[in-house]
Amino acid sequence: MLQRIKRIDGVIVLLLLALMCVSIFSIYSVTHGREGLGGMYIQMIRYDVLGFIAFILLSLFDYRLLVRYGLFIYILGMGILLTVSFIGKVKNGAQGWIGIGDLSFQPAELFKLILILFLATVLVRKNKNPLQFWRDVVPLSLITLVPFALVITQNDLGNALSYIVILLGLLWVGHMKFSHALIGLLLVGGAVLGFILCYINYHEQSVNFIEKTLGRDHFISRFDPWLVPELASSNASYQTKNAKTAIASGGLKGEGYLKGGSVQDDRVPYLYSESIFVQIAEEFGFLGSAALLMLFFILIHRLIVIALECRDRGGPLLIIGIVAMLLYQILENIGAMTGLMPLTGITLPFISFGGTSILINMSCMGIAMSVRLYGQDVEDDLPLPKVKGTTAFFVKS
């Protein structure tokens, strides 16, 4: 065990501590002096401590056991998602929260990690053989679409889209045939482009379809400021417009900590959660924003290095799933604040306020560190779970 502990990646630990510090100072900046929000940075410190404990525990836990039982973890996760569809609490327009006393928990966040474990469990059984389209790609896609559809019905577009990104990332490194990947890319790209063109050119009809047929009024306020800002209502465009104004006012060096005009006057909604990047951009400018992106870049680079050094089949799959999840969240969150992506309510990893978010992200880092500690070993003979019937397809070699 001592030899394993010596292999802990100190760079990742320092990066996580640095991101936690950025988070706490940012949350303090956007909540101090606000009625009912003044103690949020203290609560975030508690979440960070719990997250760091989860990071340490999972770092010392052999990740290969999680890969062995990914199917059962997936079934448990689906049960939780189904539960929240019936008894979930509504926050910010999304019915995706389960209340536990005074605390609330977001299962859709947890399911990102569960999906990574499940897909890694299936793909590791392929033993690096090319994935067959009808036998492998289609079933895995359909299985991923089930939680995607559930979370969409909960009005949580941001987390739902992350499942698709995780699937695509793991299919690619899971030896998907290039021809299949190209066809899939063309189909997905064509569908997205077709949706964008239809939404812009047939805006009224698209809005009627989304509101009346799909019953998703919430999505209109997400798409309008992104695709047709000139047609968006003042309420729908308020967050994006003020966020871009605040980011632009930061300039090169920013207006100074606790001195951001838009931030301190509370002109941007949800500054402590999905809009936290606005505080960094306005008060620390382009240099501060670039420094934050550099921290993320170094973290992702270290994760990829761990994946490349791993001798086990499952470790790299887990790492790539985590990297895909983080990249999506970073690009979507910052892109939404700059008007390049639609608003989906996704949080900025390790920075935004949120107990579920920080706990899941730190757990992912713990699993990645476990890959570094245990992935250098030759694949061991951990017993496979005994299953019968259709589940055997997913767990047997």
**pLDDT at res. 217:** 78
pLDDT tens digits, one per residue of 74-127: 999 999 888 887 776 776 666 667 776 666 778 889 999 999 999 999 998 887
pLDDT tens digits, one per residue of 42-55: 999 999 999 999 99
- Distance (Å, whole) CA 231 – CA 209: 17
Any bridge partners for residue 99, and if so which?
Answer: 104
**pLDDT at res. 390:** 41
**pLDDT at res. 285:** 95
The yes-or-no verdict on residue 57 having pLDDT over 50 is yes
User: Position of tokens 């019905």?
Assistant: 153
pLDDT tens digits, one per residue of 132-147: 888 889 999 999 999 9
- Distance (Å, whole) CA 183 – CA 341: 24
pLDDT tens digits, one per residue of 174-225: 888 888 888 888 888 898 899 999 999 999 999 898 888 887 777 888 888 8
Top-confidence residue, 392 or 241: 241
The yes-or-no verdict on residue 333 having pLDDT over 50 is yes
Percent of the chain residues past pLDDT 70, beyond the cut: 91
User: Position of tokens 């979440």?
Assistant: 47
pLDDT tens digits, one per residue of 299-331: 999 999 999 999 888 999 999 999 999 999 999
The yes-or-no verdict on residue 66 having pLDDT over 70 is yes
- Distance (Å, whole) CA 354 – CA 348: 10
**pLDDT at res. 117:** 94
Q: What is the mean pLDDT of residues 162-167?
A: 94
- Distance (Å, whole) CA 349 – CA 361: 7
**pLDDT at res. 188:** 85
The yes-or-no verdict on residue 394 having pLDDT over 70 is no
SS (H, E, C) the chain: CHHHHCCCCHHHHHHHHHHHHHHHHHHHHHHCCCCCCCCHHHHHHHHHHHHHHHHHHHHHCCHHHHHHCHHHHHHHHHHHHHHHHHHCEEECCEEEEEEECCEEECHHHHHHHHHHHHHHHHHHCCCCCCECHHHHHHHHHHHHHHHHHHHHHCCCHHHHHHHHHHHHHHHHHCCECHHHHHHHHHHHHHHHHHHHHHHHHCHHHHHHHHHHHCCCHHHHHHHHHHHCCCCCCHHHHHHHHHHHHHHHHHCCCCCCCCCCHHHHCCCCCCCCCCCHHHHHHHHHHHHHHHHHHHHHHHHHHHHHHHHHHCCCCHHHHHHHHHHHHHHHHHHHHHHHHCCCCCCCCCCCCCCCCCHHHHHHHHHHHHHHHHHHHHCCCCCCCCCCCCCCHHHHHHHCC
**pLDDT at res. 1:** 67
Average of per-residue pLDDT values in the chain:
87
**pLDDT at res. 397:** 40
CA angle 310, 313, 315 (to 5 degrees): 55
Backbone angles phi, psi at 62, to 5 degrees: -70, 110
